[in-house]
Structure 1
Amino acid sequence: MTDAPEAPPPITPPVAQAAAHGSNPWKMNDFRLLWAGRLTAVLAIQVQSSALLWQVYEIARRDHPVEQASLYLGLVGLVQFIPLLALTLPAGEMADRRDRKTTVAASIAVEALCALAFLGMALHGSPPLWGLLSVACVFGACRAFLAPASQAFLPMVVGRPALPRAIAAQSIAFQTGAIAGPALGGVIVGVSTPLAYGVSLGMFIVGLLAFLLIKTSGRPPTPEAAFGRWQAVREGLKYVWTTKVVLGAISLDLIVVLFAGVALLTPIFARDILHVGPEGFGLLRAAFGVGALLMAVYLSRYPIVRRGGLWMFGAVALFGIATLTFGLSKVVWISAAALFVGGAADMISVNIRQTLIQLSTPDGMRGRVSSVSMLFIGASNELGEAYSGVMVRLLGPIGAAVFGGFGALAATGVWAAIFPALRKADRLS
């Protein structure tokens, strides 16, 4: 007699917990752990990012004027985008074939090692810029594997009925980290840059421990595909290309953040235009997150369920106006208010985009589709920083921000015209 084949581990929450708790993800213990782990990891990333941007800019300014030093800030984004570009699509295919929970845990562990490397270099005085950029490159490779696996793992934890509220709740975790991280990072960097990296390392470890306590299996529920890996990648790309609502949503985000992303400009404005130092830098970095957090809290309670396309285009246009205002402001509180409004508008766009993608994608393809989405997001963020560095070189920091605001407004009109299906998207439930 042969032994019966080993059954795959049950994916309990979508079957049992979701049935018991309906659309409320907060009643699921695994979701609470996932939420706490995400909050801590994002907080660690933001503290580390603030320290790295400030350290790179300070080192570059010793030998270069503002315009040339800004190019080094652009390199911070570029060296993280290159591994994202090379690895995100294969990582998405792996998320549909391998255990998603294991992939996320391993990625966070390597991110903690990157924080340890930053700490070691900072303790030895003024590190070489090539050393900081090399570790940032490894960090970008970790994010390539982390993003699609974690996004594909969320529906396995909460199930489809709770997914819209879970996405909004995850956004709360992200934006809480985006608020506290830059503010905390700015304060700690004012005391000690090595201390900022040490705090980041400790939070990465805490986030990893919270994630390891999750009991839900991360094994994809569908069997491994019979075709090759690159054919599986092409299948994900084809799905995104043929689903015009999804394609329009993620490509609009790419173009707008590429033009109007101001994260790289905040240290330049804080140090050389508004003259508010590292504390004001933390305020500017946190203001965007405050607006996004408050909007995420609102959406977790009152999610948008009708006229999603119109809400999305309106939010993107408001984001462009906020960027334009930030570029023209010479008062720190007006600048912070503009970033606050931009963060709230951006959260509406993010929430609608993620809900459209998750609800319209089969679970067996979620890793690949999430990888395409994250590739666009990575391009808009990291490549956008490199683009901003070049634009500062050509137009100056104020001209770069103003040009970005007008570019976002123009992109809103163009995308509304060429993606009518996205403009007419209605129900998000």
Structure 2
Amino acid sequence: MTKKDPYAALRYKEFNTFLLLRFAMVFAWSMQFIVIEWQVYSITKDPLSLGLIGLMEVIPAVSMALFAGHIVDQKEKKGLLLKCILAFSVISFGLFLLTWPAVVQDYATKTILYSIYILVFLGGLVRAFLGPTIFSFLSLLVPKKVYPNAATWSSSVWQIASVAGPAVAGFSITLIGVHWSMCSVFACSIFAMLFLSQIEKKPIMNPKIGEPVMQSLSEGLKFVFNNKTVLGAITLDMVAVLFGGAVALLPIFAQDILKVGPEGFGFLRAAPAVGAFITMLITAYVPVSKNAGMKLLSAIFAFGICIIVFGLSTIFWVSLAALFLSGVFDGISVVIRQTILQLKTPDHMRGRVSAVNSMFVGSSNELGAFESGLTAKLMGTVTAVVFGGSMTLFVVLTTGIISPTFRKLDLTKDLEEHENQE
């Protein structure tokens, strides 16, 4: 076997441009989410209102996911991606107007809150198409033999942007206010469109153009549910993240428990992504293909422990460390899952499989936010976080016991086969 090249995917110019585009969009989306979380809690002081942000986004994202995957597989990816970015820019501009001080003063809190929820709902609709489009577009920019490396670098950039977005949001709220922070989000979407313009159109990798919608959607679902490796990884991560969604309650911890203000909130929100990014860099050199199943189970178990520690902590640096380590272990999960999806999915089904993945894993973040907000309302903030972390541990232990096949999953041979392709 040839020596692993950790920079294989970076040797392709269009892939590098794609990484810049991905950074701009993830940075904008994560920054926007933080700004809106802060604004909503500031005007309502209600933990359930934070959970509803996630619910408003996940409803359209999940309900439209399969149809979006079908459209992505049928359409030219660059044009579709441009439409997604344009729609996001319009939504971010609308949120910019809703956070303008004059608007906040002149209109009732409920009017502003419901308007924000409507735009978040529309953002979820855009996300239903954006995720599968980006996943499919990536595979058109590099040869199949470097898919695992491309997935690692793409995930790394996602983590960098996830670090920068919350951190910048925290400081920008303090320095320039919520409304100008939203203006920065809008500017990022413009940069994303500029980066996209530097990438050529790619052929549609689908031999079944014109295929009936229901048949197409059915094939995507059948593929995922018949592939136990793909289904196991997606399901495990979905359930674990669903119950480990403590980050949705960070505005409460920052304002009422740790009392660290918007700057501390930005650091807390960025800490998991910092840990995950470090993991991504390490896995670019040291892949996690060997004993992947056991590593995935162990990583999510450790993630649950970190969430429990965070929930119990009343010391800022302990909370920060717990969130950082949760990101380290979550990063391992992301790399393994993305590698499985890239290696196991046929080219002509990438949109639909990514859509199913979005329904499971993508939605779990927002559903987890709603679950955290609801349980915080019913049980109290600290109890809700500890409960979520405990449920994560329970799910991992149950999976490890009842599924020895998944526990023994190894991706070494799959990686070697793809790396040896011409």
Structure-1-length-normalised TM-score? 0.91
Alignment of 1:385 onto 2:369 = yes
Which of 170, 179, 186 lines up with 1:201 in the alignment? Answer: 186
Partners of 1:54 and 1:143 in 2: CA distance: 21
Number of aligned positions between the proteins:
401
What is the alpha-carbon distance in structure 1 between the residues aligned to residue 39 and residue 205 of structure 2?
A: 45
Q: Is the 8 A contact 2:77 2:201 kept in 1?
A: no
Counterparts of residues 26-425 of structure 1 (less than 5 Å)? 26-61=10-45, 69-123=46-100, 124-126=102-104, 128-191=112-175, 192-217=177-202, 219-225=203-209, 227-425=211-409
CA change 1:419–1:109 in 2 (3 A) is farther
Question: Does the 8 A contact of 2:56 with 2:124 survive in 1?
Answer: yes
Deviation at 1:105, TM superposition (A): 1.5
Kept in 1: contact 2:76–2:201 (CA 8 A): no
3-state SS in 2 of match to 1:351? helix
* Secondary structure of residue in 2 paired with 1:330: coil
The alpha carbon displacement at 1:261 in A equals 1.5
Task: Report the Cα offset of residue 404 of structure 1.
Answer: 1.0
Measured against aligned partners, the alpha-carbon deviations of 1:201-250 in whole angstroms (never above 9, x if no partner) come to 00111012102211251x32232345411111011101111111111110
The amino acid across from 1:100 in the alignment is K
The 2-side partners of 1:114 and 1:267 are apart by 23
CA displacement, residues 384-417 of structure 1 (integer Å, 9 cap, x when unaligned):
1111111101111100111111111110011223
Q: Distance in 2 between matches of 1:226 and 1:281?
A: 49
- For 1:226 and 1:274, the matched residues in 2 are separated by 56
Distance in 2 (CA, whole Å) between partners of 1:274 and 1:391 is: 20
Residues 254-288 of structure 1: per-residue CA shift (max 9 Å, x gap): 11111011121111111111111111101100111
CA distance in 1, matches of 2:316, 2:6: 45
2:91 and 2:122 in contact (8 A); partners too: yes
Gaps of 5+ in 1: 1-20, 62-68
Cα distance in 2 for residues equivalent to 1:330 and 1:205: 40
Deviation at 1:326, TM superposition (A): 0.3
Q: Would the alpha carbon gap of residues 411 and 54 (structure 1) be closer, same or farther in structure 2, given more than 3 Å must change?
A: same
Contact 1:157 1:216 in 2 (8 A): no
- Mapped partners of 1:294, 1:209: distance in 2: 28
Amino acid at match of 2:155: S
Structure 2 contact 151–342 (Cα < 8 Å) conserved: no
Query: Counterparts of 1:198 and 1:231 in 2: how far apart (Å)?
Result: 42
Structure 2: distance between partners of 1:26 and 1:215: 17
Question: What is the distance in 2 between the residues matched to 1:114 and 1:225?
Answer: 31
Report the more deviating stretch, 151-160 or 136-145: 151-160
**Structure 1 residue 422 displacement after superposition:** 2.0
Whole-Å separation in 1 of the counterparts to 2:240 and 2:394: 9
After TM superposition, give the deviation of residue 170 of structure 1 in Å: 0.8
Equivalent position of 2:418 in the other structure: none
Report how far residue 22 of structure 1 moved: 11
Instruction: Decide whether the 8 Å contact of 1:248 with 1:419 is kept in 2.
Output: no
The secondary structure found in structure 2 opposite 1:158 is coil
Residue identity opposite 2:63 in structure 1: A
Quote the Cα distance in structure 1 between the aligned partners of 2:333 and 2:410: 14
Q: 1:398 is matched by which residue type in structure 2?
A: V
* 1:239 partner amino acid: F
In structure 1, give the amino acid aligned to 2:85: I
Contact 2:23 2:161 in 1 (8 A): yes
C-alpha distance in structure 2 between counterparts of 1:290 and 1:116, whole Å: 28
Displacement of 1:103: 1.4
Q: Verify the 8 A CA contact 1:245 1:419 in the aligned structure 2.
A: no
Output the aligned Cα RMSD: 1.4
Confirm or deny: 8 A CA contact 2:152 2:335 kept in the other structure. yes
Q: Distance in 2 between matches of 1:354 and 1:91?
A: 19
Q: Which amino acid aligns with 1:353?
A: R
User: 1:346-400 deviations in whole A, cap 9, x for unaligned?
Assistant: 0100110111111011101111111100111232111111111111011111001
Sequence identity percentage: 36
Contact 1:22 1:161 in 2 (8 A): no
